[in-house]
């Protein structure tokens, strides 16, 4: 897993090449809304991208994480199918629904049934490299979602320069990122992590939560501000030192939310001595997001080391899939 994280920026460069060389057909349909459907490491990219483009995309766009699709999905919906393996059963069922409703379907996958169906039905598709650990390949699926949104005319191509900027930034900050990640991981050992961020960066918080779950075999939770101030902050009356807080911050966070973060810190610090305030680096939201993502990935594998667990192992998920296959 460490080797894969070390290749983070190489993956981004490769993802840009894949996107630039993709062969996508135009559509005659009028697209009124967009649904990105996928789960786990294949689905989180949709959440992150949706937040990064929300000010530019002029139609509703949502992320779907289940077997079904919302009732509004029809022939004027762009449904982006994201499944790294191409065999995720929930995503395949959602794909069949999109097909029945005659939606515009575009696929992102390394192969499997998704690409088979895409080829058989002349859907747009982008093929990703194969990998046994999809969560370590977020760079690929996330980047291709930008390309699909650009192809269908919903965003311009500024994202390409931003991704190049992220590559430069992460390479430049690589050792400092690893150093900070190790410090945070040591603070998390033996505690329950809680991740907070501004609402517009919830995707990167979810990404860290997922990485801590899978790589470090650690339960944790996340929340966002200002929503957290309307419920969870009161819960801190029952806070304990067994909780460790990671607060993702950006100099671009809304001013009122930044003030809320400062006040919330004062409350949290009364109940736990373990809290990390992490400021992003980067010129824009894409650079800042990738900075947080790679930092979080390193936190998760360093914590796995400290807890002496295998970050690659997913026996529980394989057991689940095996049992479902019997039905």
CATH class of 174-307: alpha beta
| Four-residue CA torsion sign, 98, 103, 108, 114 | positive
Query: Which pLDDT belongs to residue 318?
Result: 75
**Topology agreement, domain 2-156 and domain 174-307:** yes
Domain ranges of the chain: 2-156, 174-307
* Bond into 226 cis (ω within 30): yes
Tell me which of 55, 230, 315, 326 is the catalytic residue: 230
Distance (Å, whole) CA 209 – CA 188: 13
Nearest to 248 by CA among 287, 178, 195, 189: 195
Q: How confident is the model at residue 311 (pLDDT cuts 50, 70, 90)?
A: confident
230 is catalytic: yes
In CATH, the number for domain 2-156 is: 3.40.50.10490
CB atoms within 10 A of CB 130: 13
Average pLDDT of the residues in 231-255: 96
The model's confidence at residue 306, banded by pLDDT at 50, 70 and 90, is: very high
Over range 147-163, report the average pLDDT: 98
Per the annotation, the verdict on 96 as an active-site residue is no
The 3-state DSSP class for residue 4 equals: helix
Among candidate residues 68, 172, 259, 321, the one labeled active-site is 321
Please write the tens of the pLDDT for every residue from 216-230: 999 999 999 999 999
pLDDT digits (tens, 9 = 90+) for 66-83: 999 999 999 999 999 999
State mean pLDDT over 139-155: 97
On whether the CB atoms of residues 109 and 85 are closer than 8 A, the answer is: yes
* 151 a catalytic residue: no
| Burial of 7 from C-beta contacts in 10 A (0-12 / 13-18 / 19+) | middle
pLDDT at 41 over 90: no
Mean pLDDT on 162-173:
98
């Amino acid at each position: 897993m460490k080797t894969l994280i070390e290749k983070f920026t190489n993956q981004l460069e490769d993802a840009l090449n894949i996107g630039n060389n993709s062969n996508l057909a135009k559509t005659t349909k009028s697209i009124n809304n967009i649904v990105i459907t996928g789960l786990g490491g294949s689905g989180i990219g949709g959440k992150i991208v949706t937040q990064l483009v929300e000010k530019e995309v002029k139609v509703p766009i949502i992320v779907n994480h289940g077997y079904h699709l919302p009732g509004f999905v029809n022939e004027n919906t762009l449904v982006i199918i994201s499944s790294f393996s191409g065999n995720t059963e929930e995503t395949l069922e959602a794909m069949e629904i999109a097909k029945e409703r005659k939606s515009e379907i575009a696929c992102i996958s390394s192969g499997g049934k998704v690409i088979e169906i895409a080829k058989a039905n002349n859907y747009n598709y982008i093929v990703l490299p194969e990998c046994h650990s999809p969560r370590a390949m977020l760079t690929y699926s996330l980047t291709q979602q930008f390309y699909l949104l650009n192809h269908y005319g919903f965003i311009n191509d500024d994202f390409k320069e931003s991704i190049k900027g992220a590559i430069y930034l992460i390479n430049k900050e690589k050792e400092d990122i690893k150093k900070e990640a190790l410090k945070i991981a040591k603070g998390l050992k033996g505690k329950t992590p809680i991740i907070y961020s501004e609402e517009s960066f919830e995707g990167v918080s979810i990404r860290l939560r997922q990485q801590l779950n899978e790589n470090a075999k650690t339960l944790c939770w996340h929340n966002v501000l200002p929503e957290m101030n309307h419920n969870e902050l009161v819960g801190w009356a029952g806070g304990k030192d067994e909780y460790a807080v990671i607060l993702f911050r950006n100099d671009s966070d809304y001013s009122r939310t930044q003030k809320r973060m400062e006040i919330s810190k004062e409350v949290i610090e009364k109940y736990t001595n373990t809290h990390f305030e992490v400021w992003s680096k980067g010129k824009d939201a894409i650079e800042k997001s990738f900075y947080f993502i790679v930092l979080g990935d390193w936190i998760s594998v360093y914590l796995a080391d400290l807890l002496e667990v295998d970050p690659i192992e997913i026996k529980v998920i394989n057991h689940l899939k095996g049992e479902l296959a019997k039905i």
